Each structure stands twice: as structure tokens, then as C-alpha cells.
Amino acid sequence: MTAITSDCTVARYLALRLAELGITHLFGVPGNHLGPFLTTLRAEGDIEWVGTPTEGGAGQAADAYARVHGIGAAAVTYSVGAFNLLNACGGAYVERIPLVAVNASPPYEQWQNYRAIGMLTSHMSPRSESNLDVYRQVTVDAQVISNPGLAPGQIDAALTACLSERRPVYLEVMEDLWDEPCSGPAEPIRRRERPFSARNRPMLDRAVDTILTLIDEHPGPDGRPRPIVWAGEEVDRFRLGGQLTDLVAVTGVPFCTTVGAKAVVDEDLPQFHGVYNGAASHPDVHWIFKDWATCRIGLGAWSTSKNLGGDRYVGGDWVMAANGGVSVGTRYFPDVRLEQLLPALQDALVKAYGSGGWRPTTMPRPTPTTEPPATAPPAWSTTAPRSAPAALGPGTPNGSPMTASSTGSTTSWATRPGRTGRWSPTPRSPSSAR
């Protein structure tokens, strides 16, 4: 606990709180209203100021910093600077990036002069709420700090919201408040997750049960299930890469990622089959995802036209778990969060189908010159029933080259065992517990 001392100012309080969150670099464009804060920031020494040519660039740099470190911050001056930063902040809101936008505004005296004689000076606008109003549209909390006694509570509330909602917040501070005294930091800032209560358990269980039913209702030609996971951006945003890795490793279910989630999990995993991006996907990825798989399980993936490569909808054989809920075919389960769904789904899949169902295979991939086999390939084989070039290079689903087989008439994944395979679990009996 830090005692209330006169040497703590609004500027120092904000600098201490940003450093507490692990922020080591603050991006922005300096300006007169921001000067006192930058002076304090330099004196504290915990955060390095990184000047950028434009406020928009500062916002993009802070966004990139947050994607790597968990949270980022940008500081600008009123109106001309803040409006320049707005687009980057809006993008961070859509992409679920925790970003702190600090806007230094004209001092109280200048606002009073405007009210008295109508004089606008230095970045001012006719409406004192103009900056606040636009930032309310792209943040989860927006605060104007005009009273040093209330500043600690306002700053703490905004930063807590930023961590908890994983979206941007806005702090507007009048220039003459930076050096005003306030109480020092007390309790640490921490994320406030929504509790997983007894009310949530039945909804989670029903969602998992319905996912298993969907898998059962969409078997492959031999009656065995052929699900594939589509890992998305929220796996990265919520730092769930470890949980997703556990799920695919234990169950053996193959997976692809969205464009935005590329490389958020280990692409050397044998279950990985590339980036699915609709019609823009590599042909082998598209075949595995759309033709071999009989149902698709989106985990943290966003069903945008960008991720779907132009497709306008997902079908009834899709599961989409994102934005705090799960859609399974035409059914929707609200308030089912990804961090609870991943382990519950993993346990249910293992209980219903066993673990490690994805088995390697060396089944050849026919070329146009190959006569159709007398016996059709097993339904679980990921061997594509279409032609494939002898060498596709690093663009193949696993980043592995396609090499010609010893017969010269077929091709197969040959980099290492286990790159392709099947998901061949023990069929669930009607009485299997889910």
C-alpha cells in the first residue's frame, strides 16, 4: 500500500500505473498540453517515450506493442492529435486490443475564457465534449479528468476496464492538472473477469453436448467423425494458445487457423494443416477444411468475409465460439466463454472418442495419370482425390514440400511422419456419457 503523499501528482500517478501494467514504451506526438506529463515520465524513468511522425502512427505502434506485450499506450494532444489517433483506436476496438489513449487537453482557464468571451486557442474546439464524444464510440471507458482528487479513481477504473474487456480506453487530462497533487497508487490494477457461476455451468454443458451431437450428425463416408478446428484471433487475444495446443495434442483433432491467428500456436504440430481463408486458401488446405472434414469447429475465430475469403456465411455444420458465446449449427449459447469452453470440450472429446485419434497415414494422393484404385481409400485418409504437383514448396498446408513418391505417379507429405493422417476415434455408443 502506498501512502497518500504530496509528492504524487496526476502525471506521476498515471506514469506509475502504466509502468505497473508492464508498459515500457509510450508512443505519441508531443505537444504543449502533453509537456508536463512527458517531463514526469522522463523523471520516473520506467517508460521510454517513442515519438512518431503522426498520431495515427503512434496508435498503430501502440496496437502492435499491445499484441505482443498484452497492453499498449499512446499519448497525444487535444483535437488535432486525438482525431488523428481515432482510427487506430477504432481498429484496436474491433480487433480486441487493450490500448490506453491519453489525450492532453487545454487547461481549465482556457475553457473558462472561451465560455466568457468566445475565444478559441491552441487545439480547442467549440464543444469541450467533442473529443470525449467520439472516443466513447470506440472505447469501453472514456474519462475526462478535471479534478485531481478524483483522478486516481478515474484512472484505475479505465485501466481495469481496459484489461478486463481487452479493448481501448480513453483518458483526457487537462494540462493544468498534470502537476496537481493526488493520492498515490494503492491496490494493484488487475483484470476483473466475469465469474463462472452455477448459472453458467448448465449453458456450458449444453453447448459442449450440442457440439458433440453435431459431430455425430456429420460423419464421414465410413461413419467416423471428421471434425476440424479453425483457431482464430481470440486464442491470441485471450492468451489461450496453451489450452488450444493441449486440445489438439490430446484429442488429435486436426486444425487450421485464420489469417489473423497465423502463428499464434505452434505450426510444427502434426495436427496443423495451414491457414484457411476461404477461396484464397492454398488448394490443399481448402480440400482438407471443406472436402475432407465434415464439420468445422471455430474456436476464437471471427466469421468475417476477410477470414472466410469472400464467403458470406457459415453453414449448419459449423461451430463458432467467439465474442462470449457459441453457435452450433442454428443454435446459440450465450455467455459461454472460450477459456471455459476449451478445457470442457477437450475433456468431452476424449471421454466420447478417446485420445490421439488423428493417426498418420502414407496413403498416396492420386495424380491424373493414376488409375483409380480398385478399393477406395479409407474415409479417414486426408489423401486428396485430385491431382497435385510434384513440388508445392513452402505454401503447402504445413509449410512442407510435396515430394514425388517412389513410384513417380503419386505424391505424399514426406517431410516427416505424422504430417497427415486421420481422426479415427472409437465410435461413440448411444449410451456414451458426454
Domain boundaries in the chain? 10-177, 200-357+390-423
**Amino acid symbol at 108:** Y
179-213 pLDDT, tens digit per residue, is 999 999 999 999 998 888 888 999 999 999 999 99
pTM of the predicted model as reported, rounded to 2 decimal places: 0.76
Give the pLDDT confidence of 342-391 residue by residue, as tens digits. Answer: 999 999 999 999 887 544 343 333 343 344 344 443 333 344 433 333 33
For the chain, list residues with pLDDT below 70: 1-6, 110-121, 124, 357-434
**What pLDDT does 141 receive?**
98
- Compute and round to an integer the Cα radius of gyration of the chain: 27
DSSP 3-state assignment of 99?
Answer: strand
DSSP state of 86: H
What is the crossing angle of helices 338-353 and 200-217, to 10°?
50
- 316 to each of 142, 225, 328, 423, how far by Cα in Å? 40, 16, 8, 21
Q: Is 200-357+390-423 the same fold as 10-177?
A: yes
DSSP 284: H
CB 219 within 8 A of CB 226: yes
SS3 217: helix
Structural fold of domain 200-357+390-423 = Rossmann fold (3.40.50)
> Which fold does the domain 10-177 belong to in CATH?
Rossmann fold (3.40.50)
Predicted pLDDT at 364: 34
Q: Residue 36 CA to chain centroid, in angstroms?
A: 35
The confidence score (pLDDT) of residue 354 equals 87
Distances (CA, A) of 147 to 133, 151, 152: 19, 6, 10
Q: How far, rounded to the nearest angstrom, does the alpha carbon of residue 288 sit from its chain's CA centroid?
A: 24
Residue 4 is classified by DSSP as: P
